[in-house]
Amino acid sequence: MSSDTTTLTGSTGREVGVNKVPIWRRRKAAANYIALLPYVFFALFPFYIMGITSIKTDEEINNLGQSPFWATGIATEHYVYLANNTSFFNHWFVNTLIVTVAVTIISVSIGTLAAYALARLRFRGVEVFGVAVFITYLIPQTLLFIPLIDVINTIDEVVPIRDTYWSLILTYPTFLIPFVTWLLMGYFKTIPVEVEECAYLDGCSRLGALIRVVLPMAIPGIMCAILFSITLSWNELLYSLVFIQNETAKTISVGVITELIRGDIYYWGSLMAACFIGALPIIMIYGFFMDYFTSGLTAGAIK
Amino acid sequence: MAEIQLRDLWKYYDDVAAVRGINLDIEHNEFIALVGPSGCGKTTTLRMIAGLEDITAGDISVGDRIVNEVAPKDRDIAMVFQNYALYPHMSVFQNMSFGLKLRKTAKEEIERRVNLAAEILNIEELLERRPKQLSGGQRQRVAMGRAIVRDPQVFLFDEPLSNLDAKLRVQMRTEIKKIHQRVKTTVVYVTHDQVEAMTLADRIVVMNEGVIEQVGSPEEMYDAPETLFVAAFIGSPSMNFIPCRVEANNGGLSVRLSDDLTFPVPGDRNDRYGSCVGKEMLFGIRPEHITDKRPHTDPTHHDFTSDVIVLEPMGIDTMVFINIGETEITTRSRPRAVSQVGETMDFTIDMAHMHLIDPETEKVL
Amino acid sequence: MVSVPNVDRAAVAPPPGPFRSRMKKRLGPDIDGYGFLLPATIVMVSLVVYPFCLAVWFSVSDAFVGEPASYVGLENFIYILTEDDIFIETIWNTLLFAFWSVLFKVVLGLSCALLLQRILKLRRFFRGSVLLPFVAPTALSTLGWWLILDPTYSHINWILANVWPFSYFGWGPYNFLGNPTLAMASVIFVNIWRGIPFFIITILAGLMAIPDHLYDAAEIDGASTWRKFYSITLPLLRPVLAIIILFSTIFTLGEFNIIYVLTRGGPMNSTHLFSTYSFTYGILNHEIALGAAVALFLFPILVVIVVFLLRMVRRDTSHEL
Ligand SMILES: Nc1ncnc2c1ncn2[C@@H]1O[C@H](COP(=O)(O)OP(=O)(O)OP(=O)(O)O)[C@@H](O)[C@H]1O
Ligand SMILES: [Mg+2]
């Protein structure tokens, strides 16, 4: 991220340093913006459609002669319907929130410990562990959801977790821990070893140095790990689809696609309202912390 | 009391022996400088004393206890790193008080000590700043302050000044000396810079390839090196070494440096060098002991003439490069007494400062 | 060992006894590292490694929901390869899907990253917008596409019918998700939409890492924009591109959400990928054994890609040192 900003200011400085921007340069710059517009339009299009459809009345939605791109008024009936007639807010939203928070805490703590050991400590087999983390990071859920049902059923005989969000709290860390570990390994490696060693000499134990010195220095990395855990848990579909049938135990994604789509008549208004509201928390978090997101994705892929 | 003892200390990194059987006694409140070429094991030794590196064999004791298995946090040692290693997320005050806080020192006591250290180091106005907002020299001071406030048994420095520019380095060097006079503790100071070692240390330890070559006061190291390595390593520009043959003539000894250049050995060394007669040896002499020709009465001074090959003016002196036999050597003269390149020049050599080295054992006789 | 006077050996604090030092000699200086890895290892072994082995076991058994399983050898694999036409089609679908998706994601991602790198104002807005598909919940945003592609309500069909110049041709209305070819094109399209941001971000980071002075030098040499792209940007970006293409290929091959929401593998099984087909077998038809066997076909491809990736990542890090 820091290299990002330095290059940024570097090139900005160079461009701005020219007092009078020549006209051809300005034209070229304008061309860049115009060329970007289709991408922006493409990226935002479905969100716009969701938003605009969710505030139309059913009548308006079903009036096929009228342009579907604009609403003549703002109708809140679909949101009211979601609140009164479905489990959207009462259960799905709450469940998703609980799962997300729990899974994020679990995954980031466990992943932090593992990343620290893999990035910093010297012991036999450390490379093997590193490679193992990398491989588990790449194992798709497709390969695991069938046997995981079995695992959950086995655990269910001791602790009742089947058909509750506990099954998700248990299984989501399987894809988050490797991700967090991989991400934070890169961050920890950038922290000078000497600072940590100084902490030891100042009187810290290993865990003390990690908590008081290394973690505060890795805050951007930790933030990024937290944000990604939140996003990935919030967005997960396959496991919650497979592990949960009980309507009140569902998460947003599953609830919406299994409970709000009924028969052949689609209730587009409420469906789009649910999609919009369901995506909104993530989009808002993303708006606030965009820089952490981008740096994390980069680190996760390249480091 | 914080004397340090290293006994048969070994360190292996996998198959690489970084330190190979070191023995060293460091006295209470002594300032020891550890010098040697890159990769000779200085840092490794320091880190073993600090406990940051496990020792492969041998013992380290600090004060009266063996600390081989003691964790760094329990050794009561402070270390100043080359890159300062300040905690970037803490203010200067927090940086300096961190160690005390962990040791549950009372709040007033922490304040008192930090303020005292800040005063010694002249960084009182910086206490609220973050490390990022400090210059290199200021960071250096904070790093030392952090060590001072803890009042540790032992201070370790690993090339603390090498990231500073030349001028600041000289200034901080003086500062460190003053501080050590004020805050007496045992210090082990690793450096690349001989001048630092010579000016700061009570004793210098020269290491080479994981072993100690020689330990002694700066004067001893300079005047009486025990090995070829130390003779070559200490001093800048370094000592000249010329292949020579020791010859006996009418009761005295002399060294033949080339076909037409022979100098008598000072009479008091006849016994020392007696066994070398007829052997090929290395003759060592420092540049400052071959000067432009000066009037002299001393029997150990001798004159000779040679062609000037290269001149390197240094300001106060000029380095004159000449050939003796096949060997190019450096001499040191007053600028105004120097001839032009290509011309001949008269020199005086002071044989009282000669060294004779056995090329096989590389020991100075 | 030299005996040391002055040093009271009895006063040595011995808590980490000889056992600890012996372990240290054998396992390295920081043996507490194993402790730090323990929680992660427990989770990964019990919820990844063990289920994976279970999947392998299922694939060579006749497991069916609610019945005890017994070993049947390679029967399941032989069955799906020789008698199950849908599975053969699924293989082709998956390859087709991954190929076109990744190809378009690279091209569009690269071009968008190059544009984003050049703009100076409104950077955050532009970046934020084009990256949004990546963070929004896939299932929900795909439902938005579902509406857009719906035969009756389709916004695309509406444009084709009502907006000049499209209306002039009289195209459509299309049943995007009802026709096998269009359905495949649609799921690829949505997958591209969702996957471009990943390419944009990583390529942008790669572009940032290219030192400015190379471009300055090229400019002094009189290189054109195209020439600079071809001779500097592309070669220096190649390692990054290779890595993200492999990453993206893995994720694309395992795609589930988009297919499940848009087509559920239909129409006529024309858009099944390994994931949805395995879901159909394992969850909908309760044939766990066949479901596991289908999913396991991903594994060999995965191994090849992981080997490539590991090599590259390793080389990359050795570069850093
Ligand atoms: N962590 C390590 N792993 C493997 N070998 C190491 C490690 N640290 C040091 N070494 C090796 O041990 C030897 C001594 O290293 P050390 O850092 O002590 O040298 P030094 O005298 O401090 O050198 P410099 O003056 O360059 O700092 C070197 O050969 C080095 O390559
Ligand atoms: Mg060193």
pLDDT at C295: 92
Cα–Cα distance for residue pair A101/A95, rounded to 1 Å: 10
CATH 1.10.3720.10: does it fit domain C84-284+297-317?
yes
Question: CB-hemisphere CA count at 13 Å for B109?
Answer: 10
> How is residue B135 written in tokens?
């210059």
Asked, as a colleague might, if the bond just before C16 is cis with ω within 30 of 0, I would say no
The helix or strand, by DSSP H or E, that contains position B190, with its residue range, turns out to be strand B186-190
Cα–Cα distance for residue pair C150/C176, rounded to 1 Å: 7
Question: Alpha-carbon torsion B248, B251, B255, B261, what sign?
Answer: negative
Residue type at A145 in one-letter notation: F
Residue B135, domain CATH: 3.40.50.300
User: Is the pLDDT at A65 greater than 80, yes or no?
Assistant: no
Q: Residue B276 in 3-state DSSP?
A: helix
CA neighbor of B159 nearest in space, from B191, B117, B188: B191
Cα–Cα distance for residue pair A252/A274, rounded to 1 Å: 8
Same domain, B212 and B282: no
Same domain, B347 and B249: yes
Q: How confident is the model at residue C321 (pLDDT cuts 50, 70, 90)?
A: very low
pLDDT at B1: 61
pLDDT of A70-128, one tens digit each?
888 888 888 999 899 889 999 999 999 999 999 999 999 999 999 999 998 988 888 89
**8 Å CB contact between A269 and A61:** yes
pLDDT at A15: 46
pLDDT of C227-265, one tens digit each?
888 888 888 888 889 888 988 999 999 999 999 999 998
Q: What percent of chain B has pLDDT over 90?
A: 49
In the CATH scheme, what is the code of domain A80-302?
Answer: 1.10.3720.10
pLDDT at C115: 92
Cα distances from A37 to residues A31, A32, C63, C142, C147, in angstroms, run 10, 9, 53, 22, 23
Q: How confident is the model at residue C90 (pLDDT cuts 50, 70, 90)?
A: very high
Please tell me if the CB atom of residue B71 comes closer than 6 angstroms to any atom of ligand 1.
no
Contacts of B153 in chain A (CB under 8 A): none
Q: What is the extent of the structural domain holding B183?
A: 4-226
pLDDT of C32-54, one tens digit each?
889 999 999 999 999 999 999 99
Q: Write the residue in C2, C9, C29 that is nearest to B54 by C-beta.
A: C29
Question: CB under 8 Å to B102, separation ≥6 — which residues?
Answer: A202, A203, A204, A208, B73
pLDDT at B315: 86
Residue B261, domain CATH: 2.40.50.140
Strand-pair category, B203-208 with B31-35: parallel
> Could you state, in order of their start, the residue ranges of all structural domains in chain C?
20-54, 84-284+297-317
Question: CB under 8 Å to B66, separation ≥6 — which residues?
Answer: B59, B60, C7, C9, C11, C12
pLDDT of B58-87, one tens digit each?
999 998 889 988 889 888 999 999 888 999
Domain boundary among B168, B191, B226: B226
Same domain, B195 and B255: no
pLDDT at A297: 62
- CA geometry: angle B85, B15, B58, nearest 5 deg: 70
Same domain, B113 and B55: yes
pLDDT of A231-254, one tens digit each?
999 999 999 999 999 999 999 999
Q: How confident is the model at residue B97 (pLDDT cuts 50, 70, 90)?
A: very high
- Residues of chain A in Cβ contact (below 8 Å) with chain B: 192, 194-195, 197-205, 208, 213, 216-217, 219
Average of per-residue pLDDT values in chain B: 90
Q: How confident is the model at residue C320 (pLDDT cuts 50, 70, 90)?
A: very low
Q: How confident is the model at residue C170 (pLDDT cuts 50, 70, 90)?
A: confident
Burial class of residue B81 (count of CB atoms within 10 Å of its CB; 0-12, 13-18, 19+): buried
Average of per-residue pLDDT values in chain A: 86
Q: What percent of chain B has pLDDT over 70?
A: 100
Domain assignment present for B60: yes
Cα–Cα distance for residue pair B271/B262, rounded to 1 Å: 19
DSSP secondary structure string for all residues of C139-187: HHHHHHHHHHH-TTT-HHHHHHHHSTTHHHHT-----TTTSHHHHHHHH
Same domain, B222 and B244: no
**8 Å CB contact between B47 and B53:** yes
Instruction: Say whether residue C10 is in contact with chain B using an 8 A CB cutoff.
Output: no
pLDDT at A5: 37
Domain assignment present for B362: no
pLDDT at C186: 95
**Number of domains composing chain B:** 2
Q: Write the residue in C2, C7, C29 that is nearest to B66 by C-beta.
A: C7
Same domain, B254 and B172: no
Question: CB under 8 Å to B36, separation ≥6 — which residues?
Answer: B42, B206, B207, B208, B213, B233
Same domain, B130 and B274: no
Q: How confident is the model at residue A290 (pLDDT cuts 50, 70, 90)?
A: confident
Q: How confident is the model at residue A19 (pLDDT cuts 50, 70, 90)?
A: low
Ligand lying nearest the CA atom of residue B49: 1
Stretch among A232-236, B53-57, C309-313 having the lowest mean pLDDT: C309-313
Instruction: State yes or no: ipTM above 0.95.
Output: no
Please tell me if the CB atom of residue B297 comes closer than 6 angstroms to any atom of ligand 1.
no
pLDDT at A174: 94
pLDDT at B222: 92
Average of per-residue pLDDT values in chain C: 85
Domain boundary among B226, B250, B272: B226
Helix, strand, coil shares of chain A as percentages rounded to 5? 80, 0, 20
Please tell me if the CB atom of residue B166 comes closer than 6 angstroms to any atom of ligand 1.
no
Cα–Cα distance for residue pair B338/A17, rounded to 1 Å: 54
Q: How confident is the model at residue A215 (pLDDT cuts 50, 70, 90)?
A: very high
Same domain, B136 and B275: no
Which residue owns the Cα nearest ligand 1 atom 3?
B13
Cα–Cα distance for residue pair B285/B169, rounded to 1 Å: 30
CA neighbor of B82 nearest in space, from B142, B163, B145: B163
Residue contacts between B and C (CB atoms, under 8 Å): 41
Mean pLDDT score, B111-133? 92
User: Is the pLDDT at C18 greater than 70, yes or no?
Assistant: no
> How is residue B36 written in tokens?
């040697």
Q: Residue B12 in 3-state DSSP?
A: strand
Mean pLDDT score, B247-263? 85
CA dihedral B166, B167, B170, B171 (to 10 degrees): -140
Which pTM does this prediction carry?
A: 0.85
Please tell me if the CB atom of residue B13 comes closer than 6 angstroms to any atom of ligand 1.
yes
> Could you state, in order of their start, the residue ranges of all structural domains in chain A?
5-75, 80-302
pLDDT of B317-338, one tens digit each?
999 999 988 889 999 999 888 8
Domain assignment present for B235: no
Same domain, B112 and B58: yes
Ion ligand 2, residue ranges at CB < 5 A = B 43
Instruction: Say whether residue B59 is in contact with chain C using an 8 A CB cutoff.
Output: yes
Domain assignment present for B365: no
Cα–Cα distance for residue pair A173/A180, rounded to 1 Å: 10
Contacts of A213 in chain B (CB under 8 A): 87
Residues 192-251 of chain C with CB under 8 A from chain A are 193, 196-198, 201-202, 204-206, 208-209, 212, 240, 243-244, 247, 250-251
